[in-house]
Chains A and B, each alone.
Chain A
Amino acid sequence: METVKEALERTAATLSASINGVFADLEKIAGAVTAAAEAVPGVPRRSAYLFLKQDLADFIKLHSDLIVGAGIAYAPGSLPETPHWLEWWRAQPKGGPRFVTHDLNPDSLNYYDYTGREWFTLPTSTGRPVAVGPYVDFGGINVNIITLCVPAQTAQGMHVLGCDLTLANLEGAFLRTLQLREPVVVLLGPNGRVIASNSARIATGTLLLDEDLERAETLLDVSPGNPTRLPWKLISLQQ
C-alpha cells in the first residue's frame, strides 16, 4: 500500500517530468534565437526570426496536452522596425495555431505593456527560466494561466520565449496522477495560489488560507532539482 508521501512523490515526479520536458524544448528554441541573432552582421531585423513561426507551431502541437499557446517577446528597442514586439500563437481546435494580436499602442486603453509583466521581468532580471503564475492574463488571452518563460540572450538584449499552460490541463494531469481522494492534497504556486487540489473546498485560483497551511503534513517541492525554475509545492493536509 502506497503511503501519502509516496503518492505525493510520485505525483511530483510525473508533473515535473512533463513540465521539464516542455522547458527543455522551449530552451532549444531560445538557443536557436540566440544563434540566429549571432548569425547576421549588425542588428537583426524581424525577418531573422521568421523560422520561429514554424518552430513554435511544432512546439505547440507536440505539447498540446498541456499548453495552449507560445510565443516570443522581444527586448524593447532590440528590433530596428518597432520599439516593442510580441509574437504569440494560440492553439486552435483544428489546423495550425492562430496569431494572437496584442494592443501595443501605449495610448490605448487595452495597451498590453509586456515589459512590465512578471513573465517578462522575472526571466530577464534573473537570466533564468521560470514558471510564472497562476495569473489571469487580461489583455493577453484572458484566462487563468501559468507561463513557462525562457530568456534568449542576444547582443541587442534579452528576449523571452514563453508558453502558456492552462490550469484546466494541469488539473487533469494532477488528478489523474494523484488518484487519491484523501487526505486533501494541494498543488500550490509560488504566489500562494492554488493550482489544483483534490478538494472541492480548496478551489483552483484561490489563495490557500493560513488555517489550511497550518494543517500541512507533508510538504515537498515538485521539482527538487530546480525549485527556482518550477517553484511549485505539493502539500497534504491533516485530516
Chain B
Amino acid sequence: MQSAAISTRALDLLLLLRGSEPEGLGRADQVSYQIETAILMGILTEGDRLPTESALASELGISPITLRQSLAALRTKGLIETSRGRSGGSVIRRQIELTDTQLRHKLRDTSTEALRDLGDLGAAIASMSARLAARRADPQNVEHLEDLVKRHRDTADERARRRMDSRFHVAISIASQSSRLTSAALQLEAELMTLWWGDPGHSGSESVLVDQHKAIVDAIRKRDADAAARAAEDHSRSQTEYLIEQHLRLTMRPEEGA
C-alpha cells in the first residue's frame, strides 16, 4: 500500500478544525467529523498515513480508546484502511465526494439569512486576514499565495478547483500569522465546502474569480493593507451573492421547491 506520513502542517490544520463540528456530538464523533472535514477539504488526501494511534490521540487530546472508536467509524465508511505491523497504521483511502444532488439540496435548504450570516463572517475573516497578511507575509508566503492562485486557475476539475480556492483563502489567514483567524477561516471553508457551487463551466465567472484572487495577492505583495482588505472583502461579498443567487434559483424551481 503506497502511503506517506502526513506533514506537520496537515496535522496542524487538522487540529485547527476542532470546533467546526455540529453541536451535540460525542468526543469520538467529533474527531471522526474533524478527520472527515479534513478529507473533504483536501487537507488529508488519498494515501496519507495518519500518525500512530498513541501519537494522534495525544495530539487530539483524547484517549486512545476514544480515537479507536473514531477510526472504526471512518473505517466503516471506507474512508481509511488500517494495517498492523511496523509500517502499519491508518491510511486515507478515498476522497469524499458529495453528490451534486446532496450539495444542491443543502444549498436550497440553507436560507438566504443563514447564507448572508455566513458571508458576513467570511468577509470579516477574509478582510482582516488580508489586511494583516499585507503587513506580515514574508516573500515565501507571497510566493505560496501566487502559486495557489495559478494552481486554482489551472485546475480543470470543478471540485478540485473548489478545494484549491479554499486552500488559497486559508493560506492568506496563515500568512496573517494569526492561528485564531486561520482556525476561523478553516471552519468557514469547511462549511462552504458542503454547499453547491454550480455547474462546471456554467457560471462563466471563473476569470472574474481569478482576477479577484490576483488583486488580493497583488495588494499583499505591495504591502498595501487597505487595498488588500478591500479586495478580500469584495471577493468574499461577490462569492456570497453568488451562493444566494443559486439558493434563490433552486428554491423557485418548481420541481425542487417542495
Task: Contacts A200-B244, A200-B245, A203-B244 given; indicate if A179 touches B252 (C-beta within 8 A).
Answer: yes
Task: Identify the closest chain A residue to B251 (Cβ).
Answer: A175
The answer to whether B252 and A203 touch across the interface, beta carbons within 8 angstroms, is: no
Q: Are B113 and A175 in contact (CB under 8 A)?
A: no
Interface residues of A in 183-203 (CB under 8 A from B): 196-201, 203
A144 at the interface (CB under 8 A from B): yes
Q: What's the A-B contact tally at a CB cutoff of 8 Å? A: 54
State which of A144, A167, A200 has its C-beta within 8 Å of the C-beta of B248. Answer: A200
Contact residues in B for A203 (Cβ distance below 8 Å) = 112-113, 115-116, 244
Query: Given the complex, which residues of B lie within 8 Å of A168, measured CB to CB?
Result: 111, 113-114
> When the two chains form their complex, are residues A205 and B252 in contact, meaning their CB atoms are under 8 A apart?
no
**B257: CB under 8 A from chain A?**
yes
Q: Which residues of B contact A199 (CB under 8 A)?
A: 248
* B111: contacting residue among A176, A198, A204, CB under 8 A: A204
Count contacts on A: residues with CB < 8 A to the other chain.
22
Q: Interface of chain B, helix or strand or loop or mixed?
A: helix
Q: How far is the CA of A134 from the CA of B44 in the complex (A)?
A: 42
With a cutoff of 8 Å between Cβ atoms, the chain B residues found around residue A172 in the complex are 111, 251
B22 vs chain A, min Cβ distance (A): 13
Whether B241 sits at the interface, judged by CB under 8 Å, is yes
Near B by CB (< 8 A), chain A positions 201-234 give: 201, 203-206
Listed in ascending order, the chain B residues whose CB lies under 8 Å from chain A are 111-117, 241-245, 248-249, 251-252, 254, 257
16 A-B contact pairs sorted by A residue (CB < 8 Å) = A167-B111, A168-B111, A171-B251, A172-B251, A176-B252, A178-B252, A179-B254, A181-B252, A198-B248, A199-B248, A200-B112, A200-B241, A200-B243, A203-B115, A203-B116, A203-B244
Interface residues of A (CB under 8 A from B): 144, 166-168, 171-172, 175-176, 178-181, 196-201, 203-206
